[in-house]
Amino acid sequence: MEPNPDVTDEVWEKFESLPSQTRPQKGAKPAKRLTALAHELAVDGLLPAAGKKAHAAMHEVLDAAQEKFKDDVIARRQSVVTVDGTTLHANLQDKKKSFDEFHEAADMAVIDDFFRRAARVFSPPIAHSYAQFLAEKTADLDDPDSLLDALDDARTDIAALGLVSNVHPFFDVAADKQAKAWLEEYRAAIKKLSDDRQESYRQIREMSTEPQDVDLVRPETKDEMTQERLGDKSKNLDTYEDHLLCDENGNYPAKLNDWEKVVLGKERKRSGFKFWYRNPQQPSQSSLGIAYLNDGEYRIVRPDFIFFAILDDGTVVADLVDPHGTQYSDAVPKLRGLVQYAATHPTVFRRIESVAQVNEKWRVLDLTREDVRQAIATTTSSAAALFESEIADDYS
């Protein structure tokens, strides 16, 4: 299948503006994400010396942390440079025991161990560059011994910073903010890169513990099944017109279930309808995914259809319509994911709707309505009950 030649640039622009979401990664570290982003921006010539700029920005954050949490850092520094212990004395004749506490200055092996722990918090590259940054501020750069002593002091300071519990979230928030700012600033430039290079940035966006928005990428070509096997025979799949992708005859083959056929039929009859898109269920740059929580784990739901219409004034609008199976255990969590998506993207789609057949009636939940979103967010009922309730309308 190739891009439909009848689809206008305005429709494709609308398609490419639709936000998809990534599945969060457990244990993702904002600093690692920032430095990876800086590397790619420098490689593509979008931000020269991006790596140095990323490190400099985080050095400022760590300076601010030292000032903000000064008292805690001083206390923790003392624990880094001092080794506390207890000596046991035992008399084998009278079998008496005594304990003597001792406090000694820690050697560099102990301090280095604390520094390595801190480096896991701030990332090793940033921890090492910050140590160099601090040392060069106080050392006589013409005296190698002075620089080594200053580096030891800097590593001790960083080790202490790593032990202050409030510093970790303070640092992560700042690193995440910087990465997001650059991703937004260079968003348009990134979209002009090749698909392979865009994929590199897409992977960087995914390096987050929270769902991240990514733009859809216009599909260039797509292999689609045109036949299905029925026993020993093959049967051609039904074909449909007005899809964003099509064959040389303007047709798109698709195996649709009964619900999907009903929804497609109704939507194509609506005023202003021009094109539709069968959202791929496999992860790709051209598949719109929406994050949802189920049993504490993030998953991705991929709504079935996106419809494109043109209003009387020539504006292109998109409608997200998902035939929603109510029989599945994650039906309500998926609805809540769609609700959150609708709430955070109120101007992207004209309509965001979930459709289901309940008791032989076609019902629809309009997820752009605040009362509907609130009811879904707080429900203790089943998905079927939501579609049967007064917050749903008849689908026509």
Total number of domains in the chain: 2
pLDDT recorded at residue 21: 95
Say yes or no: 11 and 124 in one domain: no
Q: What is the pLDDT of residues 11-21, one digit of tens each?
A: 999 999 999 99
Final residue before a domain boundary, out of 170, 195, 220: 195
Final residue before a domain boundary, out of 179, 195, 211: 195
Say yes or no: 191 and 135 in one domain: yes
Facing residues of 316 across strands?
Answer: 310
Q: What is the pLDDT of residues 371-390, one digit of tens each?
A: 999 999 999 999 999 999 99
In a domain, 98, yes or no: no
| Structural domain range at position 338 | 2-24+237-394
Q: What is the pLDDT of residues 58-111, one digit of tens each?
A: 999 999 999 999 999 999 888 887 754 444 445 566 555 544 443 344 567 888
pLDDT recorded at residue 103: 39
284 pLDDT above the threshold of 50: yes
Q: What is the mean pLDDT of residues 182-190?
A: 95
Q: What is the mean pLDDT of residues 184-201?
A: 92
Say yes or no: 289 and 346 in one domain: yes
Report the phi/psi class of residue 242: left, alpha or beta, with left for phi > 0 and alpha for psi in -120 to 50.
left
Say yes or no: 191 and 296 in one domain: no
Q: What is the pLDDT of residues 301-325, one digit of tens each?
A: 999 999 999 999 999 999 999 998 8
Q: What is the mean pLDDT of residues 267-289?
A: 95
Overall pTM > 0.85? no
pLDDT recorded at residue 141: 79
pLDDT recorded at residue 79: 81
More confident residue, 308 or 235: 308
Say yes or no: 247 and 178 in one domain: no
3-state SS track over the chain? CEECCCCCHHHHHHHHHCEEECCCCCCCCHHHHHHHHHHHHHHCCCCCCHHHHHHHHHHHHHHHHHHHCHHHHHHHHHHHHEEEEEEEEECCCCCCEEEEEEEEECCHHHHHHHHHHHHHHHCHHHHHHHHHHHHHHHCCCCCHHHHHHHHHHHHHHHHHHHHCCCHHHHHHHHHHHHHHHHHHHCHHHHHCCCHHHHHHHHHHHCCCCCCCEEECCCCCCCCCCCEEEECCEEEECCEECCECEECCCCCEECCCCHHHHHHHHHHHCCCCEEEEEECCCCCCCCCCCEEEEECCEEEEECCCEEEEEECCCCCEEEEEEEECCCCCCCHHHHHHHHHHHHHHCCCCCCEEEEEEEECCEEEEEECCCHHHHHHHHHCCCCHHHHHHCCCCEECC
31 pLDDT above the threshold of 90: yes
In a domain, 123, yes or no: yes
Q: What is the pLDDT of residues 335-375, one digit of tens each?
A: 999 999 999 999 999 999 999 999 999 999 999 999 999 99
In a domain, 211, yes or no: no
CA angle 282, 238, 301 (to 5 degrees): 25
Say yes or no: 12 and 51 in one domain: no
- Burial of 165 (C-beta count, 10 Å sphere; 0-12/13-18/19+): exposed
In a domain, 329, yes or no: yes
Say yes or no: 115 and 253 in one domain: no
pLDDT recorded at residue 93: 61
Facing residues of 367 across strands?
Answer: none
In a domain, 313, yes or no: yes
More confident residue, 103 or 209: 209
Say yes or no: 166 and 256 in one domain: no
Say yes or no: 41 and 176 in one domain: yes
Q: What is the percent of the chain where pLDDT is above 70?
A: 93
- What does the alpha-carbon distance between residue 268 and residue 316 come to, in Å, rounded to a whole number? 15
- What does the alpha-carbon distance between residue 212 and residue 290 come to, in Å, rounded to a whole number? 10
Q: What is the mean pLDDT of residues 151-168?
A: 94
Final residue before a domain boundary, out of 134, 169, 195: 195
For the chain, the average pLDDT equals: 91
pLDDT recorded at residue 85: 45
CA angle 245, 306, 9 (to 5 degrees): 55
Say yes or no: 256 and 142 in one domain: no
| Contact by Cβ (8 Å): 222, 37 | no
More confident residue, 223 or 194: 194
Say yes or no: 164 and 142 in one domain: yes
Amino acid at 50: A
In a domain, 113, yes or no: yes
Say yes or no: 10 and 64 in one domain: no
